Structure formats: structure tokens, C-alpha cells
Amino acid sequence: MKSQLSSSTEDYVKTIYAFTEWQDAPITSSQLAARLGVANSSVSEMVRKLKDLGLVDHRPYGAVRLTEEGRRVALTMVRRHRLLETFLVNELGYSWDEVHVEAELLEHAVSDLFVERLAAKLGNPARDPHGDPIPTAEGTVPRIDAHRLRELDPGHAGRITRISDENPELLRYLAHERISLDTEVTVVRRKPFGGPLVVRIDEGGASRDFDVADEVADAVWVRSGQPHQGCTLEPGA
Amino acid sequence: MKSQLSSSTEDYVKTIYAFTEWQDAPITSSQLAARLGVANSSVSEMVRKLKDLGLVDHRPYGAVRLTEEGRRVALTMVRRHRLLETFLVNELGYSWDEVHVEAELLEHAVSDLFVERLAAKLGNPARDPHGDPIPTAEGTVPRIDAHRLRELDPGHAGRITRISDENPELLRYLAHERISLDTEVTVVRRKPFGGPLVVRIDEGGASRDFDVADEVADAVWVRSGQPHQGCTLEPGA
DNA sequence: CCTAGTATTTAGGTGTACCGAAAAAATGTG
DNA sequence: CACATTTTTTCGGTACACCTAAATACTAGG
């Protein structure tokens, strides 16, 4: 059942999964190639191998979809990645813009035993430092009920529950602008024709307006209602 | 200066270093092959590459010796390995027979930043859970002043300061026999012609005699004098 | 000091994961 | 709906780290 996959294989599966985590529509060959930073021809070849391994469904010229087994592998990788990020931030004092690359390397080197011991030590967190849900060991993904900042209409208020970890520079920028998980925002003005989105930010009484760049509006997720509950929810919760 | 070495390269260098850590005499091709579990021909080829990288000195049919640069790399790997082992035991509740394999995988995946943050968190230990000295980031190896149990004469008393981590089964056996770091032993009888070495073990008042198998006598190191100081000495100490 | 035996290297070959270039299939547009 | 464009696949080729088998160099015994 677990024939030990190469770290390339793990990366492909994780990337395929990640593509559909926050949207529908399966990933195409060239999108996969772009995200992995390899040539299209490499993807064609590798996808055939993944299919032989039973990890993806794919027919020539079609999109690539994970099988149940592939999804299981992907969730294992995502769990590893996010637990490692949490560890790096909570225990080793990394800042949230530093953890992604480090976790990317480590996730291929840790054993299941390591992951479960680490999860226990961290208190079985349900979210990582960027607010991304950490799949359970059994393959359940905690539901995250939030929307991209970009999609919100004026007047909509809520708390930031997720910030994509893909771009460290963006994370540093947001930290510099004092925007983080749990920051309360209210949409003031929706993008007209190419104009900026503006949000109002509560800061213990005072408030300021903030121009949201397109990239930021895509990377930041907001939830109205309950506050973000940090990194230490109970496992089954 | 740091052109990123493959994990194979790291393993070769580490293995070459390890061979001379507790004895003199440089390692030969076939010894290297045996320890790495690869064919002699693979070693020949790889040693040539290591030479091209400036990590070893070697002329055909001669032994393999690390260069200064090679030694630096090896110490980096050993530092990583032993800090990781310490982490696994101290923070994740691994037992000392479980850590070696896990550390072997992780040591190729961690960054220098990770290692130094980890070292700081662990309190810059000078010894790992088996009593092996942890090289400093600057490449200094804390002196360990001990002898193999095998080499001790009757009457010699001391504390166990090191137990080789290479054989997990042996470690489990010793744990089962209630022998660990800091156990006080006195050599009762030295091996006559193939007969067993016997040590007396103090156990808070009571004492028992223990037959030491050959393999154990090679793996256990004893120091007379000060007690083993645990895993939290100061860096420069 | 020559030879039998062992240690080491060379030669040729494998699998994985990548590449660029060329061929083939799918897609969009007049 | 045919053709040009884009996307995907196929086709040689490369680097790495390993292998077995064959050739070569050391080394110890007679």
C-alpha cells in the first residue's frame, strides 16, 4: 500500500491537489509545468508515470485529476507541510514568510511517525500559521468558510482567516502594513474599472483605509462571524 | 563556497569522517562501499567526483582521506545528525534506538538556519542522546575522553559516556538490561581466551554482574572521573 | 621474485527526472 | 469548416547514482 514515492512524485501530486483546493476546474499539463517550474514535456512524461501508479486520472490532451489514492497522498503531504510550518513558527521562531521553502524541503524527509509525534506536541492544530486548514491523519480537511477579499462587496465586514503562503514577499509586505490573521476589515469600495479595492481596518478604536493590490485581494481570505481560533483546535473539531 | 551538495555526496563524506572519528587509519574503497551498502564500483566513481569537488584526497588504489573542506562538510553533517537526534529524543519523545534512521533522512533536508534555530532551542547541547559530541557551528569537536569498554583492564571503574548509535537492536538490548549513559561500571574480569568480559554495575546500593558481549564491548565507551554532563553544556565549553 | 588471490578501477548498462525540438492533437477564428 | 495558433505529446539526449562483469593493480606466500 505504501511503496515509497519519490519526492518528485510527491511534489506533482501535492501541486495537482493545491490547484483545486481553493477553486474548481482541474489542472492542465502546462499549468502544472508552470507551477513546478519544469518543461511541459517533463510533465507529460511524469503524468504517465503517476497514472501507472494509480495516483491520477488522465487521458491524452485532457486535464489531470487525482484519484482517491492520489488525493490521500496529497492530503498526507499537505498535512506534513502545514504541521511543519506550524512547528517552524511556534517552536523555532520562524516568521511566516520564511517557513514555506523550509517546509517544502522537510516534507519529503519526515516519516509518518515523526509527523504524528510532531502533531501531538503542537496540540493537533487545525490551522497553520497562514490560516490554512491542516488535514487530519485520517484525511479529513477542516472546512474553512471564507471568501477571497477580491470577491467581497462594499459593506462586507469580517476577519482575515487565511493568507496564501505562496509569495513570501507579499507576506512580508502585509506584515509591514500590520495586516495579519484575525485583522478585522470592512470593504469600503469594490474595484470599479481597474481602480483599487479599498478596505477599512479597525485597530483598537482607530481605523485606517488600505488600498488592496490585485495580488493581495487574491491571496487574502475573509470570514464574517466568529474570530479565527488560532492553531490549537482539537483534532476532531 | 556552498554549491549545494547532493545527499549522496553528503553521505559519502559523513561516512568517511565517521570511520576515523573513533580510530586512526583512513578508510578504503571497499570499507566505504560496505558501510554505504553500495557496490565497490559505485564508490570508485563517486570518489572521483568527490576528488573533483575538492572534498577528498585520493590516488588510485589508495585510501580515501578528507580534505580540510571535506572535513568541514562532514562536521556540518555530523552536527546536523546529532542535533536532530537530540531533538527527536528531547522534544518528540523518541527512544534512542529509533532516532538514527529518522535523523539520517532529515539531515539532508534541513537548512543551516533550521539547524542553528534548533540548536538554540535545545540549549546548544554538547552531546547527543548516545553521548556523541556535537560539533559546533564553527567546526570544533568537543573532546570526549573515554575508552572502549573492550580496552579496559580489571579494576577500572567509570561511567558510560558514549554508546554507538549504529545498531538499534543493540541499543534496545542495553535499554532492556538497564544500561544507559551515566551507568557506573567496574570491570571485574578481562576477556581471557575468548571468555566473556564481566563488569559490575552499581545500582543505588545494590550491584550486579553483567556479561559483556563482544559487540557491546566495542560499542560502549567509559570515562573515569567526572560524570557525563547531559545534553545541555554551553557551546564553547 | 613470481604467482595466486584480493582490492580497485574501468567499461557498459539501468532507472529517474529533467531538457529542447519536432510532431500531433485540440482550439479558436474568419 | 479550413487553417493558423496554442497545447500537449513524442523523440532523442543529459546528469546522477547506482549496478554487474571484466580488466587491472596491488600484496602476501611459497
Domain identity same for A213 and A177:
yes
What the block records as the C-alpha cell of B75 is 562536521
Distance A173 CA to D3 C1' (A): 48
Which contiguous run of DSSP H or E holds residue B157? Answer: strand B157-163
Size of interface A-B (CB pairs under 8 A): 43
% of chain A exceeding 90 in pLDDT:
72
Residue B226 is predicted with a pLDDT of 40
How far apart, in whole angstroms, are the C-alpha atoms of residue B152 and residue B220? 11
ipTM of the shown complex: 0.87
Residues A86-95, mean pLDDT to the nearest whole number: 96
Q: Is residue B108 part of a domain?
A: yes
- The answer for residues whose C-beta is within 8 angstroms of residue A45's C-beta and 6 or more apart is none
Q: What does each C-alpha distance from B47 to A225, B10, B28 come to in angstroms?
A: 63, 12, 11
Count how many Cα atoms sit within 13 Å of the Cα of residue A180 in the half-sphere of its side chain: 10
The verdict on B173 and B214 lying in the same domain is yes
Strand, helix or coil at A233? coil
**Residue B47 and residue B90 share a domain:** no
Cell output for B7: 545527499
Query: Last residue of a domain, which of B101, B121, B143?
Result: B143
In a domain, A237, yes or no: no
Query: Chain B partners of A121 at a C-beta cutoff of 8 Å?
Result: 91-92
Domain match, B89 and B118 both: yes
d(CA B138, CA A166): 34
Q: Are residues A128 and A155 in the same domain?
A: no
Distance from CA of A235 to the nearest CA of B (A): 18
Q: What is the pLDDT of residue B26?
A: 96
Domain co-membership, B92 together with B159: no
> Domain boundary residue among B115, B143, B171?
B143
Partners of B209 in the β-ladder? B200
* Residue A228 in domain: no
| B113–chain A nearest CA distance, Å | 9
Task: Report the domain count for chain B.
Answer: 3
Quick one: cell of B74? 562532514
- Longest Cα–Cα distance of chain B, Å, equals 59
- Is residue A141 pLDDT above 70, yes or no? yes
Q: Are residues A54 and A97 in the same domain?
A: no
Residues A39-77 pLDDT 10s: 999 999 999 999 999 999 999 999 999 999 999 999 999
Q: Which nucleotide is nearest to A46 (CA to C1')?
A: C17
Residue of A88, A94, A109 lying closest to B106 (CB–CB) = A109
pLDDT value at position A192? 67
What residues make up the domain containing A209? 147-223
In a domain, B85, yes or no: yes
> Which residues of chain B are modeled with pLDDT < 70?
1-2, 191-195, 225-237
pLDDT of the residue at A193 = 66
Task: Say how many C-beta atoms besides its own lie within 10 A of residue A236's C-beta.
Answer: 10
Same domain, B32 and B86: no
From chain A residues 94-123, the ones with a CB under 8 A of any chain B CB are 94, 98, 102, 105-106, 108-111, 113-114, 117-118, 121
Share of chain A above pLDDT 70, in %: 92
Q: Do B114 and A121 touch (CB under 8 A)?
A: no
- Domain match, B27 and B44 both: yes
**CATH for B174:** 2.30.30.90
| B15 CA, D20 C1': Å apart | 24
Report CB contact under 8 Å: A102, B108.
Answer: no
Listed residues B66, B92, B113: the one ending a domain: B66
Interchain CB contact of B168 with A (< 8 Å)? no
CA-to-C1' distance for A62 and C27, Å? Answer: 13
Same domain? A56 vs A83: no
pLDDT reported for residue B231: 41
CA distance B199 to B184: 10
Residue A233 domain flag: no
Are B60 and B113 within one domain? no
Distance B11 CA to D26 C1' (A): 28
Chain A nearest CA to B100, separation (Å): 13
- Distance between CA atoms of A217 and A92, rounded to whole angstroms? 30
Q: In chain B, which residue's Cα lies nearest the Cα of A85?
A: B114
Residue B139 forms part of a structural domain: yes
DSSP A126: S
Residues near B151 by beta carbon (within 8 Å), at least 6 away in sequence = none
Banded pLDDT at A226 (limits 50, 70, 90): very low
Residues A175-195 pLDDT 10s:
999 999 989 999 998 766 666
Distance from CA of B7 to the nearest CA of A (A): 12
- Are both B128 and B82 inside the same structural domain? yes
Closest CB from A91, A108, A114 relative to B102:
A114
Main-chain phi, psi angles of A67, to 5 degrees: -80, 175
Res A234 pLDDT > 50: no
- Pairing mode of beta strands A206-212, A65-66: unpaired
**Domain of residue B38, CATH code:** 1.10.10.10
- Residue A230 within any structural domain of the chain: no
- Domain assignment of residue B237, yes or no: no
